[in-house]
Amino acid sequence: MIATIACDGQRNTVDASFYYWKTAYEPDSIEKHALAQIGAKRLFVRIMDIDTQGPQGEAVPVSAITFREPLPDSVAIVPVVYVVNKVLKDMSAVQQDELAGRLIDFVTAKVKQAGKTGFDELQIDCDWTASTKEAYFGLLTALRTRVADSVRLTATLRLHQVRNRRSSGIPPVDRALLMCYNMGNLRKPGAHNSIMDLREMEIYLKDFLHEYPLPMDIALPLFNWSVVFRNGEYAGISKRLDPTMLSDTAVFARNAKSSLYRLKVALPAAGLRRGDVVRREETRWEDLSAAADFLVRHRRKEKFTLLFYHLDNQVLKSFSDEQLQEIVHRF
């Protein structure tokens, strides 16, 4: 859907869509329904990661997507490439240009595999640091020279890169995509929610979002996960744990009103040991709603894309069509 809403004397247009963040494109009926219900004209598809996994430690595509069916004719593709930060360490200008060329060639081939003749936006996702900023911005500049003028180059932003824009720098792209999730410290033990923390939004965005010099799109989370701690240390995210098992008191002990669950027994099938602590983190409707209201108050009033992360049948079970449409209409 395209929602047009009068706000502060201006007309603010929202183009809503999803990220597709899987290694195989084969959406089921639930995912196709969600895409249609929100009226998406484009789908932001993760094409690959770029990591240092080549034979000599060189940057190569990792976990590239396979298109088992084409995208619908009515939906354009926006290819998204995640660049692992360590790829950029000590990368020369020549290497930046070479990587840009290989990236464009790989993306172009995958877009054709998706049944499309081209794309009008390329998005690069990277959590760059002070030590890799120069190389990352060099890569973006090289990409800009290699794609057609009609192709919009965009880059993702984390909250801290908005507040600390003078030290983080402004990426040399046409637009930015603000990721309003993964705000807290995932690796820190405790009962907090690292997916969405409204206090972090206040700290990093309230006085800074409106001043950011690039036009900005926004992504909000729909996902949830189980974070595992072992002997008080972060041990990873469990993808094999069925979250319904957390309510089994024979398997887990839970403090009242807490998101922490301690294993009474080992669960080898899920890679978990007795004594492990699982923190269940979820995107709650009330937090999603409050985040939307915050962004409405503090972002510049301009046409933008609102993305939900991500298009997945299990994730979508937690939200109704009406709830997602309501979030779109808030803007």
Phi-psi map region of 85: left, alpha, beta (phi>0 left; psi -120 to 50 alpha): alpha
Q: What gap in Å lies between CA 314 and CA 32, rounded to an integer?
A: 13
Look at residue 253 and tell me whether its pLDDT is greater than 50: yes
Among 247, 262, 281, residue at a domain's last position: 281
Q: Is residue 187 located within the same domain as residue 230? A: no
Of the pLDDT bands very low, low, confident and very high (cuts 50, 70, 90), residue 67 is very high
Q: Is residue 234 located within the same domain as residue 274? A: yes
Strand partners, 81: 48, 124
How high is the pLDDT of residue 87? 97
Q: What is the mean pLDDT of residues 146-157?
A: 97
Max Cα-Cα span within the chain: 61
Of the pLDDT bands very low, low, confident and very high (cuts 50, 70, 90), residue 255 is confident
Q: Is residue 238 located within the same domain as residue 287? A: no
Of the pLDDT bands very low, low, confident and very high (cuts 50, 70, 90), residue 257 is confident
- For the chain, what percent of residues have pLDDT higher than 70? 96
Q: Is residue 138 located within the same domain as residue 259? A: no
Q: What gap in Å lies between CA 68 and CA 89, rounded to an integer?
A: 35
Residue 102 lies in domain: 2-223+283-330
How high is the pLDDT of residue 9? 40
Q: Is residue 275 located within the same domain as residue 190? A: no
For 24-33, the CB contacts below 8 A with 24+ separation are 24/65, 24/66, 24/67, 24/68, 25/65, 25/66, 25/67, 25/68, 25/69, 25/71, 25/114, 26/68, 26/69, 27/311, 28/313, 30/313, 30/316, 30/317, 31/311, 31/312, 31/313, 31/316, 33/321
Query: How many beta carbons lie within 10 A of that of residue 281, not counting itself?
Result: 22
CA torsion sign for 189, 226, 84, 56 is: positive
Q: What gap in Å lies between CA 326 and CA 185, rounded to an integer?
A: 29
Q: What is the mean pLDDT of residues 314-329?
A: 94
Q: What is the mean pLDDT of the chain?
A: 94
Q: Is residue 112 located within the same domain as residue 28? A: yes
Q: What gap in Å lies between CA 217 and CA 178, rounded to an integer?
A: 6
Of the pLDDT bands very low, low, confident and very high (cuts 50, 70, 90), residue 4 is very low
Q: Is residue 124 located within the same domain as residue 256? A: no
How high is the pLDDT of residue 184? 85
219: its two tokens: 């992504």
Look at residue 306 and tell me whether its pLDDT is greater than 90: yes
Q: Is residue 276 located within the same domain as residue 310? A: no
How high is the pLDDT of residue 12? 63
Q: Is residue 160 located within the same domain as residue 245? A: no
Task: Give me the number of domains the chain comprises.
Answer: 2
Per-residue model confidence as pLDDT tens digits over 153-210: 999 999 999 999 999 999 999 999 999 999 989 999 999 999 999 999 999 999 999 9
How open is the CA angle 50-195-239, to the nearest 5 degrees?
65
Q: Is residue 125 located within the same domain as residue 152? A: yes
Tell me, what CATH number does 293's domain have?
A: 3.20.20.80
Q: Is residue 277 located within the same domain as residue 289? A: no
Q: What gap in Å lies between CA 125 and CA 140, rounded to an integer?
A: 11
Among 281, 299, 320, residue at a domain's last position: 281
Q: Is residue 213 located within the same domain as residue 258? A: no
Among 260, 281, 302, residue at a domain's last position: 281
